[in-house]
Each structure stands twice: as C-alpha cells, then as structure tokens.
Structure 1
Amino acid sequence: MAHSDLVITPIASKADRKAFVDLPWRLYAGDPHWAPPLKSEVYALITPGKNPFFGHAEAQYFLARRNGQVVGRVSAHIDHLALSQPAEQGMGPGTGNFGLFEAEDAEIGAALIEAAEGWLRAKGMSRVLGPISLSIWEEPGLLIQGFDHRPTVMMGHAKPSYQPMIEGAGYQPVKQLKTYELDITKPFPPLIQRIVASGEKSDRIRVRKVDKSKFDEEAAIILAILNDAWGRNWGFVPITDEEVAHFGKQLKPIVFNDLIMIAELEGEPVAFMMTLPDLNEATAPLNGSLFPFGWAKLLWWLRKPQVRTMRVPLMGVVQRLQASRLASQLAFMMIEYIRRAATTHYGATRGEIGWVLDDNQGMNAIADAIESKVNKIYQIYEKDL
C-alpha cells in the first residue's frame, strides 16, 4: 500500500521488530510526560511464546516508512476469547482490535489504520474496537485528557494529535476510561471515617493484608473475586490461568503485603483491592534499558520503594454485594488501610485509582466520596468494517 512516498508493510524481520519497538523513543523525545517502558518488556508483549495473550489471540504488526525512515506503527489483533463474549458487553463476535498506534502525521495515521482494518477484514472481522494495546488487561484506550503529567505504571500515553487521526478515520467513541487522583496525606472526609470505624466494629467483616508467602493461593482468591466482580463489565474478557501466572511473575516484585487487601464477610473472601507503587518513577529514568547499571538501580528500589504515587489498578466486590451499602463500606475500609500503609511505609503522597469505566456508578461514587478528581481520560473507539 502506498500513499505518496509512504509505504506500509507488515513486519517481517528482526530489524523490523526492533524498529517497531524503538519508534516511540524518537517520536516522544521532546515529551517530558512520556514514561519510556523497558524495551525488554515491549519485546515480550508483542512476542508469541513470551506473552500468554497469544494462547488465545493472533496479531499482525505494521510499520510505516517515508523515504526509508520509520514514521509510524500499528498492531492489528484478534482476541478469540473476546469473540465469545456477549456483544452487548463491548466485545463479541466479529470484533477485532488495533493498538500500539504511533504516527508522525495524519496521512501516516490514516494509512496505518487502513492497513490494520484490511488485515482484520481479511480475517473475517466485521467491527474494530481500539486502540487496545494489546489486551483489555494491558493498556486500553487512547489518552484524550491529561497530557500534562506522566502516566502511572501500566497506563498509556499518546500525542494529542492522535484523537483527530482516529476520529478522522471514521471511528466513533464507545467508552471512556477515567483515572482519579487524590492527596493521600489528608484523612478522608468525616463521613468516610465513620463508615470505616463502623466496619471495624462489625464481627462479620475482616479486612486483611495478603500473604506474599502464599502468593499462588492469594492470587487464586483475587482472581475468583475479579472474574465474578467484573464478569458483566463492558469489555470484560476472562483471564486464563497462563495469564494469571504470567502477570503474577511480572507483578511479584512490586507486590507488597500491606498494599493489597482482601475483605472477608463471615469468613468468605468477597472483595479485594490491589495497589502498586508507581514503577514508572524507577524505570522512566532508565530510558528503556536495564544495562549497564539500570538493573542494579531497579533492584535497589524494589527492596523498599519510596514513591510519590500509588496506583490502584484493580479492585472488585462480588456481584451479589455490588448494589449494597456493604460494598462501598468494604471499599472504603480497604482504601483507608492502604492509604495509611502507603503514606507511612512508602512515603507516598498521591494516589491514583483507575481505570474506571465512565458508567461504573459505584466506583465513580466511591472516587467522588473520597474527594478524588479525574486526572486522565482514555477513549475507546469503534467502527464497522
């Protein structure tokens, strides 16, 4: 496919793969709010055999070149587990995705999206949902608000110019994902404190730290709650056992007992909240490489992180409790206990909750009640092929 002197090709060699991974370093060179990922992690993300996503998915990556220089990239991918989800939940039959989108200008962006759509159409897809890079559990959505500060761990960044590129290619907004930030050095409002105190007096409720020495058992408890709590959410795709093991291995170095809580009701685990220190604070200065000394700096940091920001990427309450007052009470208790640990043991001053679906009334209400403010919005788009 050619547009003027622009050529779009599927990646076909080791050199192409390297160019695909390296491109953002040039495009974001002047952006102080971009957090360079570790290149080894990006290679693992896009490589079958290293990312268990490919146990149920397939992908094709494209590069854009103009006069021989790489000027854009995109992935086209199909998650076969997503195809079996109910269509009213966002995924469903015939739905493919694009992601890992970067482009120097609108002409390049349009050509890349056209290439991704062509691959999906040839695979029998009738609809595109994106950008999602690569799984809904990784970096979904295009940043459309909040370009003025760096994203936290496992959240994406983008150029403001990408929104008109994607919308110009005929995509319509379908869902927004919000992140909230709050000052965690301040106590929560008196009402929230009373709700927490009331829960602490109840014999039915126990909120406990996870036990990292029983990592697999605790992960299984959290996964069971997550699959139940999120099962009807827009965009939900089940996590496979292989993905649980993979994410567990990835996250284990930044899992700390007092930052992940499990709430039990009459002895049964019914809710959890996972909080991670913002790894980007440690990895961004490494500029993508652990060598020659980055690995030593990172290992030192991981021993006892001192961070500004803590991120809550996941929390859930089992569906049977979601419409009850108890659900918010358990959430407030877990948030408060983690707030205390984050400020006391890790020096954190800022919390970030998200992402949260724009129509998740329960979670948005909890975020409002603890006086947090929306700091980033990510947009997911759809288009019929």
Structure 2
Amino acid sequence: MSPNHRLSAFNTTIFAEMSALAAATDAINLGQGFPDTDGPPEIREAAVCAIREGRGNQYPPGPGIPELRQSIAHHQFHWYGLSYDPEAEVLVTAGATEALAAALLALVEPGDEVLVLEPYYDSYAACIALAGGTRVPVTLHAGADGFTLDLDELRAAVTRHTKVILLNTPHNPTGTVLARDELSAIAELACEHDLLVISDEVYEHLVYGNRQHLPIATLPGMRERTLTISSSGKTFSFTGWKVGWVTGTPELVAAVRSVKQFLTYVSSGPFQYAIAEALRLPDTYFKEFRDELAGKRDLMVTGLREAGFTVLPPRGTYFVTADIRPLAAAGVPQCEDGPAFCRSLPERSGVVAIPNSVFYDSTEGAPFVRFAFCKRRGTLDEAVRRLRNLGR
C-alpha cells in the first residue's frame, strides 16, 4: 500500500535530522528554534496551579477556554488596535503549526494557487500539498542589508488560479520584517484580485531596531480577508506547550474551526489558562525580552563575521542567516553548499545549523545557513568560540 502521493516529497524534517545529529555528536544545537531556558516563572506556576485545581485537565471547549480567547482579543486590541469578538473571531489551536494546517485545509481546494515568500517554513509546503493546492514561491532576495521582497515579482506571480497569499512577517528564516509600504502593496494586490491572506505572525514581539511589526489586517480592506496566526511559544519561551491561535472574521474562523475539530479537537488545557495570564503581562516584559534577544542577535552576528561568514543581519525573529561562500573562498573544506556544510559542521566544530536551501524551490538558498540565537549567552559564547576555529 503506497502513502498519499501528495506527501511523497516530504520525509523526515531537516529539524529532526539536525537535532538528531546534535545529540549524536554532543554539539551545540543552534538549528531548531527553541530556547534553552523556560519563560516567566509566574506563568509556569500558573500552569501548575491550573493542573492542581483541575482546570483544563479534561477536554477544554473546542474553540479554546473563554479566558484565553478574551486575552487574545485584548492583546490584538492593545498592541494593534484590532478589535475581535472572542466568541466568534478567535480560535485556539495546537500551536501555530496546527493553525496554519487547518487554515490551508479550510481555504485551499485542488487547483488553487498559494503564494508564499521563499524561503518558507517547511510546514507551508506540506500543508499546501495536503490541501491539493499549488505552491507558488516569490523569492526574498539577499543583499548587503538582508533580504528584500521584489513587489513586481509578487504581482507577476498572481494568476487567475491564485486563492491565497501566505504571508510571514517577521519572517523565518531570513529575519525580514516587512515595512508598511510593502504590506500596503500586498494589501492592494489582495483587494484587487479578491485574494485571502493567511498571515503567520508568531515572531510579532521579536522585532529589533527602528522597524516595527505591523499586522496586515490593520490595513484598509484587509480585516475581512485576513486570518492572522500567532502563538505563545516564541513570545514566552514555552514552545512545548503548543498554544496558538487564529483571529479573523466569523466566517473565516468558522471555516478553520471546522477543520481543526477533526485534527486535534482540543489541546493544552491547563496551559491555556497560563497563556491567558501571559498575554496580559505588562508591556515591560515584552520590551525586556526583545532587548535581551537583540543583544544575543548582536553577539551572534559579530561572532559569525569574525568566523569568516558574510552575515545578513535580521530585523526580527531569533534566527540569523550566514553566507558560507567566503569560507569556501578561503579554502575551508565541505563548503560546496549549505546542506554539505551543515552535515559536516557538528563533527568539525561541535555546532549545528540549518541549511536554508531546504526552504527554497529555487537554488538561491544554496549558500545560506541559519543559526538560532535564542539560547543562553554562555551557550552562544561557546558556539562562537568553536566556529572561529573553522578556518584553522
């Protein structure tokens, strides 16, 4: 019996492969994006309290507990001025990954085209395939200041079969944060062609420097055609809790809920109560967390440059992309492409990274690798020290 042909191109994820390699070689894992410290202790204790008090130990409501849906609605209004009805316009999911899967399965039919920014998070491709849709990548091009979106290429990619623009900002893996003029152009395109937008905003609070995160749903004509997705894992450093959410119009959220109920139905009961409290933490928490990660980003960018990489500094997320071509030019072995480099790096330097090429349909990602800097400073210091020995 053969498996579903739609998934024939998808095997073990690169994250599983590289994390297994990290464990086998006792290397520092800067590949998969998870912190090596837990989030706020009071939020952890809130989950413990919920378990002890029997809140969420049995099936929670299908759309999510009321307290969390209210906190999500409050968060969207507090930070962005977006008003959502917690009863009809907010849905709690098993992390952003389920939210993305359920949204694509709900909105995409066989033959529909989905525009994605390339490189793209690997689950996008699998979920589009499961829905029977066609993935149409629009490449973010590398430059001295990072990655940029060519709006003319985006417009040219739209056809009569286009149904959805799958947006990701702040963007994983490049760290790109789309500016207002870019988002406005995307919004105009969506309105002109009557397209739906699924906006993955899980790194919304991790934006550095003078760039700010702007949800596309805030722009004219976009609230009624946008599903916004986020989660607690990246903002609060509890990635294992898998608490995500979707906000949008009642019709769009109901469509996602109709799929979600046959995926997990419900999940993360006690953790939902804890995240309801986390979303109402004072603004100082979000600022201090962002500033802490900005310092780690700077540490990693400097260390990678000193090790001989060309670095494309991120404006958001907790990943930094590095170009291995200068190492190849300097005679460092096994630098012919990102996958070869990353598979040899744990043995050579005791560090694990992710090759960006697995997130591309084109060949533009071949020389790029991604490092996660959401780790303890001591861990990052040691990783940088090891990487400096690459050319020796």
**For the superposition of Structure 1 and Structure 2, which TM-score range results when normalised by the shorter chain?**
under 0.3
TM-score, length-scaled by structure 2? 0.24
Between Structure 1 and Structure 2, the one with more strand by share is 1
TM-score, length-scaled by structure 1? 0.24
